Structure 1
Amino acid sequence: MCSYGGGDVDDWYDDSDTDDHAEDTGDDRHHQQGARNSDLDLDDEDRTFLSQFPDTWGAAPTRKEKDIQGIQWERLAITREWYRQTRLQEYKNYENIPNSGEEAAEECKQTEKDGMYYEFRKNTRSVKSTILHFQLRNLVWATSKHDVYLMSHYSVLHWSALSGVDTELMNVQGHVAPKEKHPGSLLEGFSQTKVSTMAVKDNLLVAGGFQGELICKHLDREGISFCCRTSHDDNALTNAIEIFNTSSGAVHFMASSNDNGVRDYDMERFQLCNHFQFDCPVNASPFGYFF
């Protein structure tokens, strides 16, 4: 399965809303991800009412059969049931490989309709992640019940569910350069990095860029630890990053790229340990398995 592979990323990467930009591209794939608020037939009064919803919506009202997003459907011109039915009928899932969903369903364990798999706790709109293309992945990470890391435009933020406070950990809009010295690290760093994916685990953060950039940071240290460019290929977009422990206990991370490569780095010295090459781009490489 191959990830985004066409066009200049600058054509669709900007600070505007994804939906608005998708209209500019003329690419129907961007409109197949289901109805959004802009698709609803709302009048000015309804839109004004929606804008007054609280930023945070807790679990207690939801247990009293309130909407999980805090939307009071009785005040709108349409019902929640009608909107859901319309979305189910019109939603078209994007697939790189035809019928891959049906084939995967045959191999996966079937879920029970009334099974309890997770429980809703809180919804908040006070912190907004920025995912500018539907094929980008892993731009939001929850490392605990209370800690969320996300990409918001050019900022990597940490948001605490306990305090409700968001903290900027890294801003890649300007110049970013490493404070530590490691062999192979680009001491000149990068400017205006367009982040396509990231990984956060055990106080380690690794962000990958559209042009093969890798930026590594220890969350318990000041500054950036390591910067490098995996490839100068025309299509070197970083698809996914995975931080993991090897059988010896060493901490490594794997970066899979659109240049058909998967690279394994040691996070103690930030050295490239292995470079695997494939016939097509690799979307993800969790724990040494390639997809």
Structure 2
Amino acid sequence: MTTEGYRRTGLEQYRNYENIPLSVVAVDKEYELKSKDGNYYEFFRNTRAAKPPILHFLHTSLSPDSKLIAIVGDHLDGLLVDSTTGKTVATMEGHRDYSFASAWHPDGTILATGNQDKTCRVWDVRNLSSPVSVLKGNIGAVRSVCFSSDGQFLVVAEDADFVHVYNTNLNYETRQEIDFFAEIAGVSVSPDDESLYIGVWDRTYGSLLQYNKV
């Protein structure tokens, strides 16, 4: 089987786990994939010297000014909590299933959340009535998200095979799609934003992928 044939078969046969029945069906009907014309990072190396031991989910994240905590988990809604008092100050409503990940833009006003409904939703915490953007994935839950240190890129990882890099300066309308065959343990960007790291989870072939800025 060719690589293209294997990918096509995977897209047709992969079944994303759902806690809320038909959540993905609703998303697929309502949202389209963003343009994948972006080219921001290129493959540099893959090393098996570093093997991620677990699949990583980040159910909480602290805002850059340390005043707010974003909390997501086994619920449709996300919470913004005052880090000093522990009181809920706002909710994020819109996801169709349970969430796995959250990450703050360095300016502290934008928050991204990843969900089993195959979307990453981008929120402006000053107005949570609706998301700024809804970023649909290919096959599975969004389990890891992170912003680059300069805020230019949002990295969104599905549970397997696909990592998307969105250009925030273009209103998240343009993305680079990184395509491979493996479960994804997590993603991270180096402090200088020059390198993108993707953890590959596999009992035999676990490794760390490194992509460098073009």
**Given the two structures, how large is their TM-score scaled by the length of structure 2?**
0.51
Higher strand share: 2
Q: Confirm whether residue 210 of structure 1 aligns to residue 176 of structure 2.
A: no
Gaps in structure 2 of 5+ consecutive residues: 1-12, 22-77
Tell me how far 1:170 sits from its aligned partner.
1.4
The answer as to whether partners of 2:188 and 2:196 remain within 8 angstroms in 1 is yes
The answer as to whether partners of 1:150 and 1:156 remain within 8 angstroms in 2 is yes
Higher helix share: 1
The answer as to whether partners of 2:104 and 2:146 remain within 8 angstroms in 1 is no
1:254 alignment partner in structure 2: 197
**In structure 1, what is the Cα distance between the partners aligned to 2:201 and 2:80?**
39
2:143 alignment partner in structure 1: 196
1:16 alignment partner in structure 2: 20
Tell me how far 1:204 sits from its aligned partner.
0.9
Q: Percent identity?
A: 6
2:118 alignment partner in structure 1: 154
Gaps in structure 1 of 5+ consecutive residues: 1-7, 18-54, 60-116, 173-190, 270-291
Tell me how far 1:257 sits from its aligned partner.
1.5
* 1:1-291 to 2 correspondences below 5 Å: 10=15, 13-14=17-18, 16=20, 118-120=84-86, 122-127=88-93, 130-131=97-98, 139-143=101-105, 144-152=107-115, 153-165=117-129, 166-172=131-137, 191-201=138-148, 202-221=151-170, 223-230=173-180, 232=181, 236-245=182-191, 249=192, 251-259=194-202, 260-266=206-212, 268-269=213-214
**In structure 2, what is the Cα distance between the partners aligned to 1:206 and 1:126?**
20
Which AA in structure 1 matches 2:196? Answer: F
**Given the two structures, how large is their TM-score scaled by the length of structure 1?**
0.39
SS at match of 1:237: strand
**In structure 2, what is the Cα distance between the partners aligned to 1:164 and 1:225?**
24
**In structure 1, what is the Cα distance between the partners aligned to 2:103 and 2:80?**
20
The one of the two structures with greater contact order (alpha-carbon pairs below 8 A, sep at least 6) is 2
- For residues 84-115 of structure 1, give each alpha carbon's deviation from its aligned partner in whole angstroms, at most 9, with x where no partner exists: xxxxxxxxxxxxxxxxxxxxxxxxxxxxxxxx
Equivalences, count:
136
The answer as to whether partners of 1:214 and 1:228 remain within 8 angstroms in 2 is yes
Distance 1:154 1:118, change over 3 A: same
**In structure 2, what is the Cα distance between the partners aligned to 1:224 and 1:263?**
22
SS at match of 1:220: helix
